[in-house]
Structure 1
C-alpha cells in the first residue's frame, strides 16, 4: 500500500482494492473511496491551481467549494470529493488543453 500521500489510511484496510489511472500511472484505492481519498492516499495534492502555481488538495470535502475538480481522460471534469473511484477509471490532474 502506498503511504507517500497527503493522507494515511488507518482503518477499513480490508475493503477490496480498485485499480485506477492517474496521469497515466496505475494506482490503487479501496472500494468505496472517493476520488479525492484515492488520489490523496498516493499523492500530496490533487492538482495545481488554474490561477497560479499553488497545489490544491480539496477544501470543503462536500462539493461546495469547487476546489477538487479533476478530469477524466474523455475530457469531462468531475468533483473528486463527491465521486467514487471506479475500477479502470482514468483521471488527469490538468485540463484537456494542457494534455500532450
Structure 2
C-alpha cells in the first residue's frame, strides 16, 4: 500500500531537476519538498543549532522545506511543483525576510 520515498513511483521519471548540482529524477505533480526527501543530505540546516532539517508538514506551516529554487531563497518547497530543469539548492541558516 505505501512505498518508501527512496523507491520512487513505479513509472519512469518525467523530468530531471538539479538538486545541489546533481541531476535528480522527478515526476509530474511532485513538489520540491518531495524531491528533497529523496536526496540524501539535501535538507536545510537549523538557524539555531545547525542541525539538519527536512520537509515535515507538507502544507506550508513549518518552514522546514525552505530551499533556494531557481535562485529564489526562502521558497517553501512543499508549495512549489517541480518543472523540468529546475535548480534546487539547500538553504542554510535562517529564512530571508523581505525588505
Q: TM-score range, shorter-chain basis?
A: 0.7 to 0.9
Q: 2:6 aligns with which of 5, 8, 24?
A: 8
**1:63 correspondence with 2:60:** yes
Q: How many residue pairs align between the two structures?
A: 89
The residue aligned with 2:89 is: 92
Shift of 1:7: 2.7
Gaps of at least 5 residues in structure 2 are: 93-99
Q: Compute the RMSD of aligned alpha carbons.
A: 2.2
Aligned residues of 1:45 and 1:55 also touching (Cα < 8 A)? no
After the TM superposition, list the runs of 4 or more consecutive aligned residues in structure 1 that deviate by more than 3 angstroms: none
In the TM superposition, residue 50 of structure 1 has moved relative to its aligned partner by 2.0
The verdict on how the C-alpha distance between 1:33 and 1:82 changes in structure 2, with shifts beyond 3 A counting, is same
Distance in 2 (CA, whole Å) between partners of 1:31 and 1:15 is: 11
Distance 2:12 2:41 in 1: 23
Q: What TM-score comes out, normalization by structure 2 length?
A: 0.73
In the alignment, structure 1 segments of 5+ residues that lack a partner are: 1-5, 96-100
SS in 1 for 2:78: coil
Structure 2 CA distance, aligned partners of 1:40 and 1:77?
17
> Normalising by the residue count of structure 1, what TM-score does the alignment of the two structures yield?
0.72
